Copies of this chain bind each other. A is one copy, B any other.
Amino acid sequence: MTERELGLLDAEKLREDFEILSRTVRDGRPLVYLDSGATSQKPRQVLDAEREFYERHNAAVHRGAHQLAEEATDGYEAARATIAAFIGAQANEVVFTKNTTEAINLVAYAMSNSATAGEEHARFRIGPGDEVVVSEMEHHANLVPWQELCRRTGATLRWFSVTDEGRLDLANLDELVNERTKIVALAHQSNVLGTVNPVRTVIAKAHEFGALVLLDAAQSVPHMPVDVRELGADFLVFSGHKMLGPNGIGVLWGRPELLAAMPPFITGGSMIGVVYIDSATWADPPQRFEAGVPMAPQAVGLAAACDYLSAVGMENVRAYEHALTGYALKQVGALDGVRIIGPVDGEARGGTISFVVEDIHPHDVGQVLDDQGLAVRVGHHCAWPLHRRYNVVATTRASLYLYNTFADVDALVEGIKAAQRFFGTGPGA
């Protein structure tokens, strides 16, 4: 089977836009990039957009009255509108951060800051007796900030388990989400298991109790159509660099009435109303959360990435990756001595495939793959508690994106076999 048969997306053609994909590694091996879950590669169109901003329109946005400043501001705000539209949101609901991690911290700190902020921010207060709910499959970025919020405020952290099959365990949903719950922070798609979580169910339950829901969409927005109105969450966060965009930019989407009620996180220039030497008032969102000269060129680059993805069509991206993932699950899953950590069927899961190879440490698997030009990730993938849950120290992870091909999957399978041969394990050993 080749991707052509799908008739949806021509990966070979798209690859031409990614200069880096034609390079070689380790003594002339063609690069097979299977680490898009960590960070994606960027097409020429994105790099060009960013450079064009620097070479033609560069100025500090929202701060000048000259032509360059106007053009820069226009570019920045047009980018916000494009990115908002990409997730079905309004421009004023989109806050730029440096990455997903900052976006999550922003919400967590807004909650602790509300303790000393005015009454108008009372909605976000949290303290002893209140609960924050996460899951065992969270990336550290969606776990540690909530641990720290609990530490600062005296609130209690609780968590969903995951099943042996790699699914969110909703068995104790009714017990976990209750009248004490202030916020539920949950991965939309796991960066290890690939699992796409049944977030609507959790959101509905949380909203019964007036609890907020934040979705960590770092691994979903790049790979499937996401519409914030349809999902019904309160906050949604993602990073530019995982979706063909530049590094150094991330997004916090929030319901406008919630953003309006949130005290600021990082303070400084451009986020203020009036400033006196001993006190200040705040601008409206999104400015309230964007202190300092922002990453305007990166915003423009991310908007170009959204345009690129929209031109391909997010439905096509999803369908193509679904086919590719199904193929990979079958091929990798069929290998003797290989155990996939995560759902082995392609339903409600994305193209992230983590696995262990019997008797070979992931570092060693990764090394042998690297020697053959395959770039995978090894380790706990910033999800240490999840690995503990499956009694593994580390896994090897291959993560697919729209520029990967069925041939890449074949190369992965060959690579794993080579590792088994090298270490004298697996079939035939």
Q: Which A residues contact B (CB, under 8 angstroms)?
A: 19-20, 23, 25-26, 31, 33, 35, 38-39, 41-42, 47, 51, 54-60, 63-69, 98-102, 104-105, 109, 113, 116-117, 136, 139-145, 147-148, 151-152, 157, 159, 239, 241, 246-249, 264, 266-270, 272, 274-280, 291-298, 363, 366-367, 369-370, 374-379, 382, 384-385, 388
List, in ascending order, chain B residues with CB within 8 A of A23's CB: 56
B370 touches A101 (CB 8 A): no
A61: nearest residue on chain B (CB-CB)? B39
- Listed A/B pairs (22) with beta-carbon separation below 8 Å: A20-B56, A25-B68, A35-B69, A38-B63, A39-B59, A42-B58, A54-B246, A60-B241, A66-B376, A67-B370, A98-B102, A101-B268, A105-B267, A105-B268, A105-B291, A113-B148, A143-B277, A147-B278, A247-B248, A247-B298, A270-B382, A275-B384
Also in contact, A385 and B144, with CB within 8 A (given A23-B56, A248-B98, A295-B247):
no
A118 to chain B, nearest CB (A): 10
Among candidates B42, B64, B274, B297, residue contacting A375 with C-beta atoms closer than 8 Å = B64
A35 touches B60 (CB 8 A): yes
Interface centre among A136, A278, A377 (most CB of B within 10 A): A278
Counted per complex, copies of this chain come to 2
A58 touches B20 (CB 8 A): yes
A58 touches B39 (CB 8 A): yes
List, in ascending order, chain B residues with CB within 8 A of A141's CB: 268-269, 291-292
A102 to chain B, nearest CB (A): 6
List, in ascending order, chain B residues with CB within 8 A of A379's CB: 63, 65
B65 touches A378 (CB 8 A): yes
B101 touches A69 (CB 8 A): no
A382 to chain B, nearest CB (A): 4
B140 touches A68 (CB 8 A): no
Also in contact, A278 and B157, with CB within 8 A (given A101-B292, A269-B382):
yes
A368 to chain B, nearest CB (A): 11
List, in ascending order, chain B residues with CB within 8 A of A26's CB: 67
B35 touches A268 (CB 8 A): no
A280 touches B144 (CB 8 A): yes
List, in ascending order, chain B residues with CB within 8 A of A65's CB: 363, 366-367, 370, 377-379
B277 touches A385 (CB 8 A): yes
List, in ascending order, chain B residues with CB within 8 A of A270's CB: 382
List, in ascending order, chain B residues with CB within 8 A of A159's CB: 277
List, in ascending order, chain B residues with CB within 8 A of A116's CB: 151-152
List, in ascending order, chain B residues with CB within 8 A of A117's CB: 151
List, in ascending order, chain B residues with CB within 8 A of A295's CB: 98, 247-248
A78 to chain B, nearest CB (A): 17
A51 to chain B, nearest CB (A): 6
A274 touches B384 (CB 8 A): yes
A187 to chain B, nearest CB (A): 13
Q: A63-B379, A101-B268, A140-B275 are in contact. List 18 more A-B contacts (CB 8 A).
A: A20-B55, A20-B57, A25-B68, A38-B64, A64-B375, A65-B363, A66-B375, A101-B292, A105-B291, A141-B268, A143-B277, A145-B266, A147-B279, A157-B278, A241-B293, A268-B382, A275-B384, A276-B384
List, in ascending order, chain B residues with CB within 8 A of A42's CB: 54, 58
A270: nearest residue on chain B (CB-CB)? B382
List, in ascending order, chain B residues with CB within 8 A of A104's CB: 268
